Amino acid sequence: MDSFEQDGNGAAPDSLPPPPPVPPDVVPIKAEPEPAKKKVVRVPMARRGLGSKGQKITLLTNHFKVNVGSSDGHFFHYCVSLYYEDGRPVDGKGVGRKVIERVQETYGNELAGKDFAYDGEKSLFTVGALPNNKHEFTVVLEDVTSNRNNGNASPDVHDDSNGQDRKRIKRPYQSKTFKVEISFAAKIPMQAIQNALRGQESENSQEALRVLDIILRQHAAKQGCLLVRQSFFQNNPDNFTDIGGGVLGCRGFHSSFRASQGGLSLNIDVSTTMIIRPGPVVDFLLANQNARDPYSLDWTKAKRSLKNLRIKVSPSNQEYKITGLSEQLCKDQLFSLKQKSMKNDNGEAENLEITVYDYFVNHRNIQLRYSADLPCINVGKPKRPTYIPLELCSLVSLQRYTKALTTFQRASLVEKSRQKPQERMTVLSSALQRSNYGAEPMLRSCGISISTNFTQVEGRVLPAPRLKVGNGEDFFPRNGRWNFNNKKLVEPTKIERWAVVNFSARCDTNSLVRDLIRCGDMKGIRIDPPFDVFQESNQNRRCSPLVRVEKMFEDIQSKLPGAPQFLLCLLPDRKNSDLYGPWKKKNLSEFGIVTQCMAPTRVNDQYLTNLLLKINAKLGGLNSMLAIEQTPSIPVVSKVPTIILGMDVSHGSPGQSDIPSIAAVVSSRQWPLISRYRASVRTQSPKLEMIDSLFKKVSDKEDEDADGILLPCSLFLVQLRDGVSESQFNQVLNIELDQVIEACKFLDESWNPKFVVIVAQKNHHTKFFQQGSPDNVPPGTVIDNKICHPKNNDFYLCAHAGMIGTTRPTHYHVLLDQIGFSADDLQELVHSLSYVYQRSTTAISVGENSDLALTSVCEKLPAIAPICYAHLAAAQVGTFMKFEDASETNSSHGGVTAPGAISVPQLPRLKENVCNSMFFC
């Protein structure tokens, strides 16, 4: 029965009367839904013009002109599918190239003799079409293990140590059959390359340039190189340098095609990766653990560090992938060996229980010197282990080491991989000649030839900005550097309530305090004597870092009359002290105390002056400022209230895929100054580069904007972003910028600031050289022509003086400019921002005496202060995460996750007084 009663006409009692009939001369109009507002998709802006300021200078760059003979043809893209004979898909990466090479050898006529550009996985390209849209082939490979174990077959056991039937598993990779499917996917006009050179970029032009890069990779693969994106590393010991811990720095070369104003160019540069030291496995383990002998190795660590590495086994010279270690020692590890000469009553071969050691020594007649009392290497599967004595195993060469480097390894790598400009040019010239790209058939079929001459470009040297210091003095930096000898700080602070905390560092604290007060007086900082020096008690030294910090604060609270203005902390370890994170968290988020850490080794006046620069900035002082800030006469910015934002995301170390990423935003304060900043930091999903928490509304009255910065109603916002690739530019413009706009609207619906969005990249391979000079390019060198983008607004700037090695320029991409800067004004603003870095007296972005743990965080950063500060803030607050688990960090403010991502632990909120300070200096 219906849910309501009907009357006799079938209508509900409360229903409305029917509508009047439509007159016969009226045509009803169909109601159309209101069209949804179409969201404007922003794209990177075009260049408006070139700069002209500065002294002109002729330079060479490591771009080599590429001539493209024909643009009438097409690249044809095919999808490749590989299967074993039984239909299982091939999931290993090492075998693909061998299979495709065999296809070309065996079926060349059926494929019209075409050359292939194969990426080693799923994509294959040809110049012109193959005879059919789909080809299916069967090929046989005699051996597929010389480069990589594909993980889909049983290991060879001449070392028949798992007791399987030798006939069944002997040389299992021999005569392996593969099925290959090659199917048409797309057609790419070569004309797209010419279009890209005219600034008409499209998906086709990106794909066409990708094909050319794949040809370079394939060319290197044929020479047996290790491939890491567009970098290639040969198995040549001359290119290896030992950086300790069983790790080698391996020098190779980066090669990639670039569309530029001057046409197509090939960018070649020196590149370095880390590899496992090849040779006996035991030698690697001893170096990796810094152990005296094999019997003092930590085998739990060894198992982790060896897993999935490839070895060659003596004497068979067969190659395997390590899957683990034996549970027992070689002399005790038993397995079943079938005795063909001994049959049971059913005529089957009997099993003999035998140790791995006994088998190799007595059955194989292989002498073992030290393996008896060590675990074996397992190269088998979980239910079918294959054990091999340690001393018969050697690591093959060119295996990447992807874990985070220690401080000492990183320092060694930097030291040993430096090259002066002229040396780098010589190395690059010889690398281009040895590459012999002219002999590559795929490049020839595209009509491509590559010049062997460095491209000549015109640069301009911008003059260093005038700086202001104390007592109204001003001075000009020389060669991108300056010092405070006999000069006072422009705005020194007073340090009145402070104390020294010594965590067992060997130091004469009385002498240190006396020298610090003296150096402070020379810089204009008045430092009162400290209230106390807190020495860690001997029994606390053996506690965990968290407990040591807690006990120290108990002591501080019991003796100080109130919260100190500042704490100077002496740590016993120069870098990466495990006390650093807990100490910083306790001070900044629980007590709101400004703190400076130091390791009192090689302390002199220069060290203490650098230390005082950081302390002064953290306590609200200003070390120096630009004269144009004081005037004020910064182009455009000084005329209209402006905020400068610096943004960066810091990720976990390599191999730490579950460590949350840390997003940081800093904003300038006290317009028209561009020297003072404050920061806010948030966690977000691991490895997520886009900042997804720039604005997160909590309620109608509260917002949670990741800059955590109440933006005043400025008319201009200059947004400086680090760490994104060209493929992510649209996301910066359409995701991150939208969040900033939303935050502005939340604060004031009528607030419509104009935006400038600039991305700074340090992770590129363009270098500049002075022809015939051993020196680096001068600081202030800017290049915006010839090798820059054919259409988009970009330029290179070498703000600092390269004192060691070859200068790494910063590549700036102006994605959006609603303000209307001229090229000169924008380049001058960026150049000026390289000189407001309060932590050091140089336009370079690395401070010599950084706040411990952070000495290397700016090594690859652009020399531009707001981005450096964002990176420092992310790195410093990120140390909070290193000693906490998720359960301890989920109680406070700001953890953000991407849609569908796992929950991300949140960072503790900093106390307001330090939150507003330059705590990250």
Domain total of the chain: 4
Q: Where is the domain boundary, 343, 364, 396?
A: 396
**Where residue 763 sits, what CATH number does that domain have?**
3.30.420.10
Q: Give yes or no: residues 596 and 509 share one domain.
A: yes
Tokens standing for 215? 């040809």
Q: Give yes or no: residues 503 and 547 share one domain.
A: yes
Angle made by CA atoms 155, 160, 162, in degrees to the nearest 5: 80
Q: Where is the domain boundary, 564, 588, 621?
A: 621
Q: What interhelical angle do 299-306 and 281-289 show, nearest 10?
A: 120
CA 576 to chain centre: 20
**Roughly how many angstroms between the first and final C-alpha of the chain, as a whole number?**
77
Q: Give yes or no: residues 597 and 640 share one domain.
A: no
* Residue 233, domain member (yes or no): no
What is the rounded CA–CA span in Å between residue 600 and residue 569? Answer: 10
**Where residue 617 sits, what CATH number does that domain have?**
3.40.50.2300
pLDDT at 815: 97
Residue range of the domain that includes 563: 492-621
Angle made by CA atoms 479, 483, 489, in degrees to the nearest 5: 135
pLDDT at 10: 42
Tokens standing for 511? 């002498």
* Residue 321, domain member (yes or no): yes
Q: What is the DSSP string of 561-628?
A: SS--SEEEEE-SSSSS-TTHHHHHHIIIIII--EEEEE--SS--HHHHHHHHHHHHHHTT-BS-EEHH
User: What burial class does residue 558 get, using C-beta atoms within 10 Å of its C-beta: 0-12 exposed, 13-18 middle, 19+ buried?
Assistant: exposed
Q: Give yes or no: residues 778 and 721 share one domain.
A: yes
Q: Give yes or no: residues 186 and 76 share one domain.
A: yes
Q: Give yes or no: residues 669 and 524 share one domain.
A: no
CA 244 to chain centre: 22
Q: What are phi and psi of 192, to 5 degrees?
A: -60, -30
The model carries a pTM of 0.85
The length of the chain, given as a count of residues: 921
Q: Give yes or no: residues 180 and 304 share one domain.
A: no
Q: What interhelical angle do 509-523 and 605-618 show, nearest 10?
A: 70
* Residue 912, domain member (yes or no): no
What is the rounded CA–CA span in Å between residue 626 and residue 634? Answer: 9
Tokens standing for 214? 């794949």
In the block, which residue shows the tokens 């653990």? 289
* Residue 187, domain member (yes or no): yes
Q: Give yes or no: residues 636 and 743 share one domain.
A: yes
Q: Give yes or no: residues 761 and 877 share one domain.
A: yes
What is the rounded CA–CA span in Å between residue 897 and residue 886? Answer: 14
pLDDT at 36: 62
Tokens standing for 831? 């150049």
pLDDT per 10-residue tile (average), the chain, 921 residues: 41 56 70 67 93 96 89 88 87 82 88 89 91 90 51 35 36 69 91 84 84 91 89 91 93 93 92 93 93 91 92 90 91 80 63 85 87 91 88 93 86 87 93 88 87 95 92 83 83 95 90 95 95 92 92 93 92 80 91 92 89 94 92 90 90 68 88 90 74 57 43 79 89 92 86 94 93 91 94 93 84 96 96 88 42 38 81 87 48 40 73 87 87
Beta-carbon count within 10 A of 674 CB? 28
What is the rounded CA–CA span in Å between residue 762 and residue 843? Answer: 15
Least Cα distance to 408 among 420, 416, 397 occurs for 416
* Residue 265, domain member (yes or no): no
Q: What is the DSSP string of 669-697?
A: -STT-SS-EEEEEEEESTT--S---S--B
What is the rounded CA–CA span in Å between residue 589 and residue 745? Answer: 29
User: What burial class does residue 530 get, using C-beta atoms within 10 Å of its C-beta: 0-12 exposed, 13-18 middle, 19+ buried?
Assistant: buried
**Where residue 355 sits, what CATH number does that domain have?**
2.170.260.10
Instruction: Give the amino acid at 521.
Output: D
**Order of strands across the sheet that contains 375-378:** 324-329, 375-378, 387-388
* Residue 261, domain member (yes or no): no
The CB-side HSE value for 797 (13 A sphere, CA atoms) comes to 34
Which residues make Cβ contacts (< 8 Å) with residue 768, sequence separation at least 6? 59, 60, 61, 457, 459, 777, 781, 783, 796, 798, 807, 809
Three-state SS at 531: coil
Whether omega before 672 lies within 30 degrees of 0, making that bond cis, reads yes
Are the C-beta atoms of 694 and 734 separated by less than 8 Å? Answer: no
Beta-carbon count within 10 A of 293 CB? 9
* Residue 835, domain member (yes or no): yes
Tokens standing for 350? 């009997």
Q: Specify which residues 233 forms β-bridges with.
A: 226
Q: Give yes or no: residues 730 and 804 share one domain.
A: yes
Q: Where is the domain boundary, 578, 601, 621?
A: 621
Least Cα distance to 898 among 724, 649, 729 occurs for 649
Burial 737-772 (b: 16+ CB within 10 A, else e): bebbbebbeeeeeebebbbbbbbbbbebbbbbbbee
pLDDT at 224: 86
Least Cα distance to 796 among 465, 481, 455, 483 occurs for 455
Give residue 911's region: left, alpha or beta (phi > 0; psi -120 to 50): beta
Structure letter (DSSP) for residue 738: H
Q: Give yes or no: residues 508 and 654 share one domain.
A: no
What is the rounded CA–CA span in Å between residue 550 and residue 584? Answer: 12
Are the C-beta atoms of 507 and 514 separated by less than 8 Å? Answer: no
Q: Give yes or no: residues 826 and 684 share one domain.
A: yes
Are the C-beta atoms of 654 and 409 separated by less than 8 Å? Answer: no
Which residues make Cβ contacts (< 8 Å) with residue 418, sequence separation at least 6? 804, 805
* Residue 235, domain member (yes or no): no
